[in-house]
Amino acid sequence: MATRVLVVDDSGFIRRRIAQILNVEPGLEVIGMASNGQEAVSKTAKLHPDVITMDVEMPVMDGITAVKEIMLRTPCPILMFSSSTKAGAKSTLDALEAGAVDFLPKELDQIDHNREKAESLLRLRVKEIGRKGGRQRAKEPVLVKNLSKPETKKSPIQSRHVSNLHPQLLVIAASTGGPVAIQKVLTELPANFPLPVLLVQHMPANFTPSFAERLDRLCNIDVKEAEEGDRLKPGVAFLAPGGKQMVLKKVGSQVSVEIRDSYESENYQPCVDTTLESVAKLLPGKVLTVVLTGMGADGREGSRQLKKDGSTIWAQDEQSCTVYGMPKAVADAGLVDNVVGLADIGKALVQLNG
């Protein structure tokens, strides 16, 4: 059965172009179009699409307001299209907070300079979002299950199990659905959180500064976009800059951040595997990695390197994921110590002893 899509944009040319790109895929069908947010709200209620693609800046009713209305009246997975400006990045993050699932740059060449690859990624993203049915929030806190024990009875991570962990670094990785999930986790950490934190979120370069600023404003810990030479500090989270790779280096006894350009072999910018493999070399057996919602398998090979020396891997559970791709990849590879509901991750991290 095809994924039914409603395309929303104030530009007739853009609406037709997106429809053409999506309708090429047998598993996708554009069932309607809307030229503003108000029309989108009305057509969503009438057509009940599986996925909506939504522009942010529109007349009559903007995309952020439309997302709020749709999520309130007839919830549906929404993929935002964003401009490359700082204001566009801020508006898109507002839309994600309002309930949108994911976003892509409105200019497809910012997804990939190869037009065919960019169009293929758009189709894949819409299909994945439609398959999941959007953000599925648990009605009550999702409990943690330990993979080494039978699943007959779920119970949260025991305080003594978490307090027995003594990592020196926390790494949080995410992709689709990640901005909201990362915000949920980080806002629960206290100002005196004992570990430095690395954040790797698949995100374009023009978005990461705004995302870091937003997190820093909302969180008790400090959050900043990582820069060359930043030294790891307890209670400070460093966000990998979009379009670059964030790795660790050691200068004397100090561990600091190195920001470099990507190699051809690195499919994501930033790439979770790249960061984790770097971390595994410098801090063997001393890392806690939490793999959150995201499409694909980025993070699996890096987690494999971490596990060789005894580091700990947690993965977000399927029920609370927007897209159960990255957590599933590490879980299926047998690399995960605990599967954790999003509602419980922050609470468990608070129990850590650095």
Angle, CA 123 vertex, CA 314 and CA 131 arms, to 5°: 50
Domain ranges within the chain, ordered by starting residue: 3-132, 145-350
Q: Is the pLDDT of residue 284 over 80?
A: yes
136: pLDDT confidence band, cut at 50, 70 and 90? very low
Q: Is the pLDDT of residue 133 over 70?
A: no
| CB-based contact 93:38 (threshold 8 Å) | no
Name the average pLDDT for the chain: 89
Alpha-carbon distance of 45 to 73, in angstroms, equals 8
Alpha-carbon distance of 146 to 153, in angstroms, equals 10
Q: What is the model's pLDDT at position 142?
A: 36
Residue 222, both tokens: 């400090």
Asked whether the domain spanning 145-350 has the same topology as the one spanning 3-132, the reply is yes
Is domain 145-350 classified as CATH 3.40.50.2020?
A: no
Active site residues: 175, 202, 298
| CB-based contact 124:51 (threshold 8 Å) | no
Q: What is the model's pLDDT at position 82?
A: 85
Dihedral of CA 195/196/199/200: which sign? negative
Residue recorded with tokens 């009559």: 60
Q: Is the pLDDT of residue 154 over 70?
A: no
Which of 83-97, 107-121, 210-224 holds the top average pLDDT? 210-224
157: pLDDT confidence band, cut at 50, 70 and 90? low
Q: What is the model's pLDDT at position 107?
A: 72
- pTM summary value: 0.87
Report the pLDDT averaged over residues 277-304. Answer: 97
Q: What is the model's pLDDT at position 84?
A: 67
What DSSP designation does 212 have? Answer: H
279: pLDDT confidence band, cut at 50, 70 and 90? very high
Architecture of the structural domain at 3-132:
3-Layer(aba) Sandwich (3.40)
- Helix (H) or strand (E) run with residue 3 in it: strand 3-8
